[in-house]
Structure 1
Amino acid sequence: MDLSEPGFELEREADEAFAGLVDYFREYRDCADLYTESPKFEVYDELQSRIDGLKALGVSLRYAERKMQVKWGADPDAKPMPVSVLYVVAFPLGKEPDQFATPKSGGIRF
């Protein structure tokens, strides 16, 4: 699971590049277990190329990971499922924070 968003107002070209990175990452994440080891290098190269493209547009990325327990459905007795949440936030190049806060709870909409 990921929560990816810009931390500032992006210019159109940078906004499209960030959206492309997020889409590509999510497509890979959803089927990563189907990849054998060698083809993963192409994915890593493409991700790095997209990150480099954002840097050229004046955008830097920061990330954080949080382990959480989530319940699906309305059943109060449902057993929580462990998940890792990846937060990817875009910042202006050179103005990145050393740290940023991640929410401890939240809703998931489908």
Structure 2
Amino acid sequence: MDLSEPAFELTREAEETFAALVDYFRDYRDCADAYSETQKFEVYDEMQSQIDALKTLGVSLRFAERKMQVKWGSDEDSKPMPVTVLYVVGFPIGREPEQFATPKSGGLRL
């Protein structure tokens, strides 16, 4: 699970590049176990090229992870499922924070 967004207004080109990186990451995440170890290098190289493109467009990325318990549905007796949430946030180069807050709770809609 991930929450990825820029923390400032991006140019159209930077917005498209950021969206492409997020889409690529999500596609890989959803089927990473189907890749051979050598195929993963191609994925890493592609993601790095998108990160490099964002840098040339003035965008620096920061990330955080949070372990959470998620309940599906409204049944109070349902057992929570452990998940790790990845937060990827784009900041202007030179204005990146050392830390940023992540929400402790939230809602998901499918």
Q: TM-score over 0.5 for the alignment?
A: yes
Q: Which runs of 4+ in 1 moved over 2 A?
A: none
Task: Report whether the alignment pairs 1:72 with 2:72.
Answer: yes
For 2:90, the aligned partner's letter is A
Deviation (angstroms), 1:22:
0.2
Counterpart mapping for 1:1-110 below 5 A: 1-110=1-110
What are the Cα deviations for residues 23-45 of structure 1, in whole angstroms up to 9, with x where unaligned?
00000000001111000000000
* Cα distance in 2 between the residues matched to 1:52 and 1:109: 32
Distance in 1 separating the partners of 2:30 and 2:72: 19
- Whole-angstrom CA distance in 1 between matches of 2:72 and 2:35: 28
Q: Residue type of the partner of 1:107?
A: G
Secondary structure at the residue paired with 1:53?
A: helix
TM-score between the two structures when normalised by the length of structure 1: 0.99
Q: CA separation in 2, counterparts of 1:79 and 1:31?
A: 25
Unaligned runs of 5+ in 2: none
Give the total of aligned pairs.
110
SS of 2:73 mapped into structure 1: coil
